[in-house]
Amino acid sequence: MKTKPTFFYGYVIVLAAFCSTVVIWGIFYSFGVFFEPVLREFGWTRAVTSGAYSLCMALHGLLAIGMGRLTDRFGPRLVITACGLFFGLGHLLMSQISAAWQLYLFYGVIVSIGLSASFVPTTSTIARWFVKRRGMMTGIVVGGMGLGTMFIPPLVSRFISIYGWRTSYIIVGSVAMVLVILVAQFLRRDPGQMGLSPYGENEVKQERLTFQAMGLSFQEAIQTRQLWLLCAIYFCFWFSLSTIFVHIVIHATGLGISAANAAIILAVIGGVKIPGTLIIGSSADKIGNKLGLIICLVLISTALFWLMAARGTWMLYPFAAILGFAYGGVATLMSPVVAELFGLSSHGVILGFIFFIDCLGGAIGPVLAGRIFDITGSYQWAFLICAALSVIALILTSLLRPTHSKDLTQNI
The pTM of this model reads 0.74
- CA–CA separation, 30 vs 145, rounded Å? 12
pLDDT in tens, the chain (412 residues): 444 456 788 899 999 999 999 999 999 988 888 988 998 899 888 888 888 888 888 898 889 888 888 888 888 999 999 999 999 999 999 999 999 999 999 999 999 999 988 888 888 888 888 888 777 888 888 888 878 878 898 899 899 999 999 999 999 999 999 999 999 999 988 887 777 887 776 655 544 444 444 578 888 888 889 999 999 999 999 999 989 988 888 888 888 888 778 878 888 888 888 888 889 888 887 888 889 999 999 999 999 999 988 877 778 889 999 999 998 899 889 888 888 888 877 787 888 899 889 888 988 998 899 899 989 999 999 999 999 999 999 999 999 887 654 444 333 3
Q: Is 199 helix (H, G, I), strand (E, B) or coil?
A: strand
Residue 291: predicted pLDDT: 92
How big is the chain, counted in residues? Answer: 412
Residue 204: predicted pLDDT: 54
Residue-wise pLDDT tens digits, 359-403: 889 889 988 998 999 899 999 999 999 999 999 999 999 998 876
CATH node for 10-409:
1.20.1250.20
CA distances from 367 to 188, 249, 301, 314, 410 (A): 37, 15, 21, 27, 41
Amino acid at 301: S
Q: Is-contact 23 179, C-beta < 8 A?
A: yes
Run of H or E residues at 249:
helix 225-254
Nearest to 397, CA basis, from 292, 300, 290? 290
Burial 171-188 (b: 16+ CB within 10 A, else e): bbbebbbebbbebbebbb
- Domain coordinates of the chain in residue numbers? 10-409
- CA–CA separation, 287 vs 200, rounded Å? 18
Angle between helix 46-74 and 31-42 (nearest 10): 140
Residue 212: predicted pLDDT: 47
Count of other CB atoms within 10 angstroms of residue 115? 27
Amino acid at 228: W
Sign of CA pseudo-dihedral 48, 330, 327, 391: positive
Q: Is 153 helix (H, G, I), strand (E, B) or coil?
A: helix
Residue 129: predicted pLDDT: 87
Residue 201: predicted pLDDT: 66
Residue 199: predicted pLDDT: 75
Residue-wise pLDDT tens digits, 83-104: 999 999 999 999 999 999 999 9
Across the chain, which distance is largest between two alpha carbons, in Å? 67
- CA–CA separation, 250 vs 259, rounded Å? 8
- CA–CA separation, 30 vs 98, rounded Å? 20
Residue-wise pLDDT tens digits, 191-239: 877 778 877 766 555 444 444 445 788 888 888 899 999 999 999 999 9
